[in-house]
Amino acid sequence: MKIFKKFWVWLVKLLGWKLNLPEKGSSLERKVRRCVFVVAPHTSMLDFLIGASYLWACCPNGKVLIKKEFFWWPLGVILRKLGCIPVKRGNRYNNIVDTAVTEFKESESLSIAITPEATRKLTNRWHRGFWDIANKAKVPIVMTYIDFSNKEIGILGIFKPTDDFEKDAFEISKCYIPEMAKYPEKYKQLPDPALKKKRKN
């Protein structure tokens, strides 16, 4: 399936997309070969097609978490061979966190891509799976953007998770703007948890 992954990357480039990849031999390139990719904003099915190409260009052994509903035959066979991991909707964990952490322990080069919104609809919350995986596997979070206005995809920065999910999610979401999305009206930054605490007090 490596040839198919290379073809996928080539196709995305052919469609006019620019993949801003880390410089070869750089510390960033080493980090993206063992990390959790957070891909946002997520408002379109195209996000998967484009985001996967970037993941595989950075890390050939990269894997993507996607909804179990997409694993119908014969598409499911192809997705599994590409390294995609099915996630059951309605079950926040579904042992995915433990499975991902185990895979990190068993592989020196592995990156996993996740859309933290877990939906293409407008939402004001992020699922914490990406954060739990990064914390338990002790790997960095790579903030990856898909910018439809300029047809490019790249890295906004590296984020080291702390022990506060809400604060970390807020800080990461601030790095993304609605104008990047395919459908800008479907994305908004998360609310500041510090303001929530003030209101309660």
Q: How many C-beta atoms lie closer than 10 Å to residue 37's C-beta?
A: 25
Please report, in tens digits, the pLDDT of each residue of the chain (201 residues total): 678 888 889 999 999 999 999 998 899 998 999 999 999 999 998 998 899 899 999 988 888 877 778 787 887 787 887 777 777 755 555 578 888 898 899 888 889 988 899 889 999 899 999 999 999 999 999 999 999 999 999 999 999 999 999 999 999 999 999 999 999 999 999 999 887 766 665
Helix axes 2-14, 46-58, angle to 10 degrees: 120
The C-alpha atoms of residue 108 and residue 105 are separated, in whole angstroms, by: 8
Amino acid identity at 104: F
Contacts of 182 (CB under 8 A, 6+ apart): 43, 44, 46, 47, 148
Distance of CA 11 to the CA centre of its chain: 20
Which sequence spans correspond to the domains of the chain?
A: 2-200
- State pTM to two decimals: 0.86
